Each structure stands twice: as C-alpha cells, then as structure tokens.
C-alpha cells in the first residue's frame, strides 16, 4: 500500500507540531485521552439507542501502557473505533472545525496560538513522537485497519488483525534532545501526574500497570518489584463534584480542554438544582471573543448530558441568543436518552431548565457588576454588544431583562456606567437621559451640542456602537426618564427668556434664512438661531425619528436605502458670525450665500458627515482667505 499525502493544510499543521517550540507539549496526552473518552461515549450512546449494539458498561475503559524498551507509549480504548474511511478523513485532514480558522489565522498569529486555539487534538501526538500508529476497528465494520505516519511525508493505511472494537494508538516517543527530555513520557509517575492533572474527571477508568516495590515476604530488607493494574483517575465528572472541593485550576483546565480555548475563562458558574427537575450545570464565560463568534460557523449551545452520558453536543435551546457566548454543559438525570433534537425542542423539562439557566447567568452577571466591577467591564467590552443586540432585537421583547446589564460611556465619569447609575445622579429638574452619538468618545466630546450640555454640568452618555441608538429607541425610557439625543431637537435646555429671544430673532430674520436655505438647495429643513451652543458657531440638529447617526448606520448596511435624516442648521445666536450674516444680508447677498455654504459644510463635518461638494467648499474658503 502506497504512502498517502496529508491534505495541504494538515501538512502545515503537522509541520508545526513536529517542529513545535510549544512548551506545553504534555497536553498531547489529555488530547488523546479525551478522544478515547469521546469514542467510548459514542459507543455507549449507540448501545442505548440501537438494539443491535450491545455493550457491557462495566468494561468500558481506557488503558495506558508504557513500553520503555521500545520507547512506546500506548493509549487504548474500547470505544466506537474508526472505519478505513474514517481513519482517512479524521486523521488525514485536520479537524474540520478548526481548519478554516487555521487558514485564516495562520498568516497573522504565532504558532503557539494555533496549537492552543484550535484544539488540534490528535496531531499533538507528533509533538512528542516520531511515529504514530493507530489501529482501529469500528463498530460498523468487520475489518480493522492500521494507520501509520512518521509525520510530514504522509501516512499509510493497511488492514490489521485487531479483533476487538476500539482504537489503539501507539506513540513512538522521540529521542531526548538538549532542550527536551521526551523520555519522561515513558515514566509511569509522569504519566500518572498528567492524567491526574488534565484527565481526572474522565468518567471511564483510565487503567495503567503501576510498578511498586514491596518488601519480600519473610525477609528483612529485600524488596521485589510487583506490578498492579490501577485506575489512575478519579472518574467523577467535575460538575458532579462539590464545588467547594474543585480548584480554580481544575475548572480552568476542564474548560480549556473541553471547549478548545487557549485562554482561561473570565467566569465559571457551577450550579446544582434539586427539585421538580434536577440538574447540574457548569457554565463558562470566555475571556475573549471566540475567533468565529460573528461568523455563521459559530453555534451557540450547551452540552447536554443525561446522568453523565453525553446526549447532545450543542443544545441550542438551552441558551437564549443574547447569552450565546456562554459555553458549558448541563447534566440532568431526568432526561430521556432517546430524545431527538426535534423532540427536545418541545420538551417541557428542557424549557424549565433553559429558563433557570438564563436566570442564573443573568443573576451572576448582575452580581459581577455589583461586586467585581473590573471583571464586568472586561466582560462588557467583549460581549456587551451582544447584550445590546439582545435588547434591540425581536422588537425589544427582552429589553426589560437586559437593560440593567447595559453600560455606556459617561461624559462625567469617563468610564462605562449603567443606566441605573446615570439616573441615580441626575440633576434636580433634569427629566431626560442625555446621550450623544459618534464614532469615538473623542469625536463625540467635540460635538458643539455636547459641549454646551456639558457646560451646563449634565452627564451625557456617549454612544459609539452602531446599535446603541437603536437600543435607546427601543428602550424609550429608563425608570420613567426618557432618552434624549443632544444632537436632535428633543433636547431643550434654553430658558424661557432665551426661547423668547430666539423666537423673535428667528421671525425677524426669516427673509435672510430663506436666502440662506436656497443657497444650500434646501438641504436642511430649517435654519434658525439657537442658544444651546456654547462656543461653536453652528451645528446640525436632527428632527424626527431618524438621527444623523442612524442615517450613517443605515446607509452603511448592504441594503442601505439611502435614507436621510431631516436636519436643521442651527446658528449660535451669541456668536459674532450672527452680526456678520446680518450685515451681509443687507449689503452683499452673494457673499451671504457663499458663507452659508461654508457654514453648512462645517456643520456636516463636525457631525462626521461627508461634504457633498468638497471642491466648491475648498475654493470658497480659499477665496475668503485671499480677501
């Protein structure tokens, strides 16, 4: 049988493994044990749901054997095994889940990241071995096969005479080098330690022959070597253990291994509920955005176990969309093993559990917000946008559940604050929650309208995410306080006298405003004087439901409709420009028109909108400078 080549990307990954400078090489063992355990899970599950497959649960196990003489480390399971075709696809190609991401990230990221990030699994064997042999017999085939590879040059598959269903992986351990002592993987204590550290919770026994030295019977101090087969893991799934007895390291190790993350989680939630429906749940909030989070490949969901038996890998019904970043598992003794995906959707018990889990996640987040602000802010910077989408989507049906978890940047606190905090310190007489939108905190801070409200000592929420203003619209109010966009005319901070004055001035100068409006082709709804600007000459205020910021967001969408916010050009009544305009109106209407064009362009620029006719404006400015 000829040597087959690995698929191109597998080969790259393999090269990485073989020449790996990754210091944490020992994880290969946990990867292989985890695969073995998965394979046993599969077989056991088959036996529960398929009459034709018979299994004695008490015999299910993983065996580790050390053959020092031949430098072999052998990991053997009696799980479902692999057919010839499965050997080919599973071991000839890197795990499909990771392959795409690997390709995308490989250019940018360092090797080390790739190894950790995509749970390269089986291939990690090549970090410590110069030859890997996989003998496997599938539950679905009478013919066993042997897959073998020395790494980069490819692999062979040939029939084997393995008689029992399952898989045996033989690692030929590399020779020691100056930097690496590979031989330690042939040491029983080292292997014992690694199993304890990484794979203790595996629910099948991991057995190994352990050599002890024992005093020879009938002698004073003569010792003999005896070999006993021992189970070296405790087999209790971590989620079934008393949470006071599980260390942080154990929780974290379980997470990184089980959910293929290179980074420790931000938060662990371990809960046990007894009652009408009992269950245990172990949930994790990742500490970074999963690489595929915003791609269609990302599947939300929790692993679902029935009394320790995995029945579904990603049960999406257990998580609402706005908590789709949560990873973890749920184990309930009351669930039927035979349940199908479709049936689960209608399962009452699952619905109750899902509801409980949702509440649990929410209350944990609230606690974090209250007691561990720093971590919550970290969380919010990563997944806050998800909560905002959750608030906004489905016509705001979940907004009441989520509104207290939201945070926005505050002009006075200079950090993220909650709506509750904002309302609690509102000034006397302030009846609205002020916000302003823009690309960045710095840009918003410079908006003329913001400047004036800040000048009056009001706190303003700076909205920098596209979804933010839509969230405000869907929330409408918080504790009865309406939201008000300081760049829209729903903000009213002029005093009664000021109002009187602008009203009068606006009426008196109507003819001037008409000429000005005409100069900019009626692009604004109105032009008027205002008292609300502190230092700036002009601003563009939106009128109606659609703000300038929303116009930008909507028009940047693929199906953008070319919507336009209705705007008003407001001129600072206390600014010297007013006298200038008035005198131009009397003496030089052509200049008045040109000045209007410049002012309008300025107002657009400040709002972050493009100037529609940059050449004309630049010529006008030049003309003015040269005067």
Name the residues that contact ligand ADP, by CB under 6 A.
Answer: 31, 35-36, 39, 77, 79-82, 90, 95, 119, 121-122, 167
Please provide residue 272's backbone torsions phi and psi, each rounded to the nearest 5 degrees: -135, 125
- Rounded to a whole number of angstroms, the minimum distance from the CB of residue 434 to ligand ADP is 50
Instruction: Tell me how far the alpha carbon of residue 597 is from its chain's centroid.
Output: 46
- Residue 381 beta carbon to ligand ADP: minimum distance, rounded to whole angstroms: 29
Cβ closest to ligand ADP, residue 201 vs residue 458: 201
CA dist 402 and 387 (Å) reads: 7
CB of 135 to ligand ADP, least distance (A): 10
Which residue's CB comes closest to ligand ADP? Answer: 121
Nearer to ligand ADP, 82 or 516 (CB): 82
Distance of closest approach, residue 138 Cβ to ligand ADP, in angstroms = 8
Q: Which is nearer to ligand ADP, 77 or 317 (CB)?
A: 77
**Rounded (5°) CA angle 337-36-173:** 175
Looking only at the bridges linking them, the beta strands covering 267-273 and 279-285 are antiparallel
The least distance separating ligand ADP from the CB of residue 274, rounded to whole angstroms, comes to 34
Nearer to ligand ADP, 122 or 600 (CB): 122
Q: What is the DSSP letter of 239?
A: G
* Closer residue to ligand ADP (CB): 39 or 419: 39
**SS3 label, residue 141:** coil
Side-chain-side CA neighbours of residue 246 (13 Å): 23
Q: Which is nearer to ligand ADP, 105 or 271 (CB)?
A: 105
Distance between CA 359 and CA 353 in Å, rounded? 10
What is the sign, positive or negative, of the torsion defined by CA atoms of 89, 90, 93, 97? Answer: positive
Q: Where are the alpha helices (DSSP H) in 308-347?
A: 341-345
Q: What end-to-end distance do the CA atoms of the chain give, in Å?
A: 89
161 and 145 Cβ atoms separated by less than 8 Å: no
Cβ nearer to ligand ADP, comparing 90 with 133: 90
Q: Which residues pair with 231 in a beta bridge?
A: 207
DSSP state of 573: T
Q: Which two tokens stand for residue 202?
A: 């595996």
**Closest distance to ligand ADP from the beta carbon of 328 (Å):** 18
Query: Can you tell me the distance from the alpha carbon of 1 to that of 489, in angstroms, rounded to the nearest whole number?
Result: 79
- Alpha-carbon span 562 to 558, nearest angstrom: 11
Query: H/E/C letters for each residue in 17-72?
Result: HHCCCCCCCCHHHHHHHHHHHHHHHHHHHHHHHCCCCCCCHHHCCEEEEEECCCCE
Residue placing its CB nearer to ligand ADP in the complex, 140 or 492: 140
Q: Phi, psi (5° rounding) for residue 35?
A: -60, -40
Question: CB of residue 117 vs ligand ADP: minimum separation in angstroms?
Answer: 12
CB contact burial 479-499 (16+ within 10 A = b; e otherwise): eeeebbbbbbbbbebbeeeee
The strand pairing partners of 528, in sequence order, are: 570
Of residues 96 and 564, the one with the C-beta less far from ligand ADP? 96
Kindly tell me which of 36 and 573 has the beta carbon lying closer to ligand ADP: 36
- What are 303's two structure tokens? 């692993």
Shortest spacing between CB 21 and ligand ADP, in angstroms: 21
Note whether 320 and 393 are within 8 A (CB): no
Minimal distance, residue 288 CB to ligand ADP, in Å: 20
CB of 122 to ligand ADP, least distance (A): 3
Q: CB-wise, 79 or 151, nearer to ligand ADP?
A: 79
Q: How far is the CB of 353 from ligand ADP (least distance, A)?
A: 27
For residue 59, the minimal CB distance to ligand ADP (Å) is 16
> Of 201, 82, 213, whose CA–CA distance to 139 is shortest?
82
Nearest to ligand ADP of 256, 572 (CB atom): 256
């Amino acid at each position: 049988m000829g040597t087959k080549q690995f698929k191109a990307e597998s080969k790259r990954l393999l090269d990485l493994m073989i020449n790996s400078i990754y210091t944490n090489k020992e994880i290969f063992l946990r990867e292989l044990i985890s695969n073995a355990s998965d394979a046993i899970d599969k077989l056991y599950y088959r036996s529960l749901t398929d009459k034709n497959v018979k299994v004695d649960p008490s015999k299910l196990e993983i065996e580790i054997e050390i053959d020092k003489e031949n430098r072999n480390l052998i990991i053997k399971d009696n799980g479902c095994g692999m057919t010839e075709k499965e050997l080919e696809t599973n071991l000839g190609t890197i795990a499909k889940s990771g392959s795409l991401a690997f390709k995308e990230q490989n250019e940018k990221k360092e090797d080390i990241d790739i190894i950790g990030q995509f749970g390269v699994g089986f291939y990690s064997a090549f970090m410590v071995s110069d030859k890997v042999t996989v003998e496997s017999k599938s539950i679905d085939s009478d013919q066993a096969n042997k897959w073998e590879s020395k790494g980069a040059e490819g692999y062979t598959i040939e029939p084997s005479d393995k008689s029992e269903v399952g898989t045996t992986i033989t690692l030929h351990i590399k020779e020691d080098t100056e930097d690496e002592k590979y031989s330690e993987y042939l040491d029983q204590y080292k292997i014992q330690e690694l199993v304890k550290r990484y794979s203790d919770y595996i629910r099948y026994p991991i057995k190994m022959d352990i050599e002890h030295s024992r005093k020879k019977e009938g002698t004073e101090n003569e010792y003999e070597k005896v070999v006993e087969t021992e189970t070296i893991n405790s087999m209790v799934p971590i989620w079934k253990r008393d949470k006071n007895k599980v260390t942080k390291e154990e929780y974290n190790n379980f997470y990184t291994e089980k959910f293929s993350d290179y980074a420790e989680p931000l938060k662990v939630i371990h809960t046990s509920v007894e009652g009408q429906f009992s269950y245990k749940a172990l949930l994790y909030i990742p500490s970074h955005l999963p690489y595929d989070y915003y791609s269609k490949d990302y599947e939300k969901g929790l692993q679902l176990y029935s009394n320790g038996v995995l029945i579904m890998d990603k049960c999406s019904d257990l998580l609402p969309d706005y908590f789709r970043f949560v990873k973890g598992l749920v184990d309930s003794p009351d669930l039927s093993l035979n349940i199908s995906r479709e049936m689960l959707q209608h399962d009452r018990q699952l619905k109750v559990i899902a509801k409980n889990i949702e509440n649990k996640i929410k209350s944990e987040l609230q606690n974090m917000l209250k007691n561990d602000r720093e971590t919550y802010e970290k969380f919010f910077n990563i997944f806050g946008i998800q909560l905002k989408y959750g608030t906004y989507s489905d016509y705001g049906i979940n907004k009441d559940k989520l509104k207290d978890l939201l945070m926005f940047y505050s002009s006075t606190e200079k950090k993220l604050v909650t709506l509750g905090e904002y309302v609690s310190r509102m000034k006397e007489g302030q009846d609205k929650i002020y916000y302003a939108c823009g690309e960045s905190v710095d840009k918003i801070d410079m908006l003329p309208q913001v400047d004036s409200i800040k000048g009056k000592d009001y706190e303003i929420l700076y909205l920098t995410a596209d979804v933010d203003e839509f969230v405000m619209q869907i929330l409408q109010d918080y504790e009865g306080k309406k939201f008000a966009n300081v760049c829209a005319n729903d903000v009213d901070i002029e005093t009664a006298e000021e109002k009187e004055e602008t009203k009068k001035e606006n009426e008196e100068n109507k003819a001037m405003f008409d000429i000005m409006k005409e100069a900019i082709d009626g692009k604004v709804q109105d032009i008027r004087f205002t008292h609300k600007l502190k230092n700036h000459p002009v601003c563009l205020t939106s009128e109606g439901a659609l703000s300038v910021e929303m116009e930008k967001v909507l028009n940047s969408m693929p199906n953008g409709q070319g919507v336009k916010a209705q705007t008003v050009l407001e001129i600072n009544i206390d600014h010297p420009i007013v006298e200038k305009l008035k005198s131009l109106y009397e003496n030089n209407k052509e200049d008045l028109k040109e000045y209007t064009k410049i002012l309008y362009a300025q107002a657009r620029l400040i709002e972050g909108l493009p100037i529609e006719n940059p050449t004309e404006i630049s010529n006008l400015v030049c003309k003015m400078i040269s005067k």
